[in-house]
Amino acid sequence: MTKDDKHPALSFITNQEIVLAAKQNLQQGTWGYLSGGSESETTLRRNRLAFDSLAFRPRSLVDVSKVNTSANVLGHDLRIPVVLAPIGSQQVFTPDGGAAATRAAHEFGVLDTISSVTEPSLEEIANVANNPKVYQLYLHGDWDWTKEMISRAEAAGYEALCITVDTARPSRRDRTLLARWSPRANFLGTAIANQHQVSGGPDGGGHAAKVTWDTIDRIRGFVKLPLMLKGIAIGEEALKAVEHGVDYIWVSNHGGRQLDHGLGTMDFLPEIVDAIGGRADIIVDGGVQRGSDVLKAIALGAKAVAIGKLQCWGLAAAGTVGLVRALEILEDEMISSMALLGVTSMAQLTPDYLARAPLVTMPHEMSGWVNIPDERIV
């Protein structure tokens, strides 16, 4: 890895420091957009609760002198089983936007998923680095527009298409509403004339509100790439997705940013694993903050986890270098936890290494980092 040895990001030794640096660099509205959820943020907290209530069952007297953290996703060997989740408006966290994230993915060795609502363009991001990339698409246009976007992604060399299915209508995110802030309009500090400006209007989300399984069938018949559905939250829908030709089930509740009062993703991951019976690979996101979180997700049947907030905290802290450093710390945590757990590869992780356990602290969105002063994160 070639980096400036004097870059301040290299002094970070925990991801707690990266979160604090990100908060220091961001204005209130931007911080709320990144770190908050919808309405009462119950789902946001349950994402962490689901991880925090899983305990390890370690094995001792195992030779763990060599630990392999790699995984294979979309036919590519990744350094760790981590995917960069699609994040809209990444340019509000770092000037290079999505290009900064894909540079970090290339440098470190993970898969990048590029949002259809971030800058720069999908073609510009594709040309930044020769690493495997997935294109994520919100279905905000008619069929001709959808075909055009898919064709552009295929022509630009993206290796899979990800359709987000849990955004039929924009959610109410109180942190950004209170800050009078929107990443789309970038009218930080100005008054919102009425709620329709942030809710999508009285008719809801337009084209997105009309997406059905027929839409997915139409896309499956048109796209030549592997197809992912992001936003699956129950086993029945996961099974239906497989029956409709979907290759990857992306288990997600949008990081607690869409429908509130849902379960944490790790609570419904086992249901989805059971429902599809190995007929598709699974990616899971929602509250991933520690290397131990990655191991828990793999043990319950995921092929990889996706990181959204942690990704953009790294970018906000120090751009590409900050994200690479966040991934390095995540990897080091994984290696430590694997050795102490008594496993040497991802394939060895099974549900037998986990047990349900009572919580010892009150969960919140930062419960992976209990040493962060409370006044710095609220």
Question: Which residues have a catalytic role annotated?
Answer: 254
List Cα–Cα distances, 42 to 63, 252, 259, 278, 355, in angstroms.
Answer: 41, 15, 10, 31, 23
Instruction: Tell me how long the chain is.
Output: 378
Residue linked to tokens 């029956």: 243
For the beta carbon of residue 154, count every other beta carbon within 10 angstroms. 16
Q: Are 181 and 30 in contact (CB under 8 A)?
A: yes
Angle at 258 between CA 254 and CA 264, to 5 degrees: 55
- Residue 115 neighbours by CB under 8 Å, 6+ apart: 86, 87, 88, 90, 98, 136
CA 43 to CA 258: how far, in whole Å? 9
Secondary structure in 3-state letters for 317-360: HHHHHHHHHHHHHHHHHHHHHHHHHCCCCHHHCCHHHEEECCCC
Structure tokens at 187: 């009218």
Residue linked to tokens 């940013």: 257
